[in-house]
């Protein structure tokens, strides 16, 4: 085959491949004809349901804004606090998406697409405010009753054994 034919064939194959719609993912237009089933669970402040049955929370409000901008219809389906059940429902296509505080794992990322994180939380530890510098503070932390009692017991035992051996000789 000549180089011209190879280049022409390659261009033709590439043009055909890129002109095909992505078959793996449905288009947004496909979801405008039916209501999406959105799985969620009560995890305040991300998702909670009032006595009147209306859902609210950070994740719920974010989803409502996205659905409103894309003009998507949806209905919520509540799950007990069981992320595995929601993943199973997503795999079996009982629900279309999940709006909840879900843990992002490497196994989950291999099977599903997750959004970017929009909430970051940290854990803090509170301690008493005491002077931490100086020789006195260091000695106080070093010599506690939990340390002094066993040391005192060992010193007493050594004195008893030493005195006994001295008397026996």
Is residue 38 classed as helix, strand or coil in its secondary structure? Answer: strand
% of the chain exceeding 90 in pLDDT: 38
Over residues 102-108, mean pLDDT = 81
Residues 38 and 104 occupy one common structural domain = yes
Long-range contacts, 5-9 (Cβ 8 Å, 24+): none
Q: What is the pLDDT of residues 44-64, one digit of tens each?
A: 889 999 999 999 999 999 999
Give the closest residue to 73 by CA, choosing from 96, 50, 56.
Answer: 96
pLDDT in tens, 77-87: 999 888 888 88
Q: What is the pLDDT of residue 133?
A: 73
Whether residue 18 contacts residue 26, with contact meaning beta carbons closer than 8 Å, is answered with: no
pTM for this structure? 0.55
Decide if 10 is inside a domain. Answer: no
| Residue 2 located in a structural domain | no
**What's residue 98's pLDDT?**
92
Write down the mean pLDDT value for the chain.
83
- As for how many domains the chain has, the answer is 2
What residues make up the domain containing 163?
Answer: 135-168
């Amino acid at each position: 085959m000549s180089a011209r034919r190879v280049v022409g064939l390659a261009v033709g194959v590439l043009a055909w491949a890129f002109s095909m719609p992505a078959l793996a993912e449905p288009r947004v237009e496909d979801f405008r004809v039916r209501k999406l089933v959105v799985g969620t669970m009560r995890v305040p402040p991300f998702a909670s349901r009032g006595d009147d049955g209306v859902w609210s929370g950070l994740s719920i409000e974010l989803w409502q804004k996205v659905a409103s901008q894309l003009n998507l219809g949806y209905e919520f389906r509540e799950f007990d606090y069981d992320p595995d059940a929601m993943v199973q429902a997503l795999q079996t296509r009982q629900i279309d998406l999940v709006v909840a505080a879900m843990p992002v794992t490497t196994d989950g990322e291999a099977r599903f697409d997750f959004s970017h994180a929009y909430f970051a939380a940290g854990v803090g530890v509170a301690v008493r405010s005491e002077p931490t510098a100086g020789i006195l503070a260091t000695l106080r932390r070093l010599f506690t009753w939990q340390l002094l009692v066993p040391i005192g017991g060992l010193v007493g035992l050594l004195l008893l054994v030493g005195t006994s051996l001295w008397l026996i000789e």
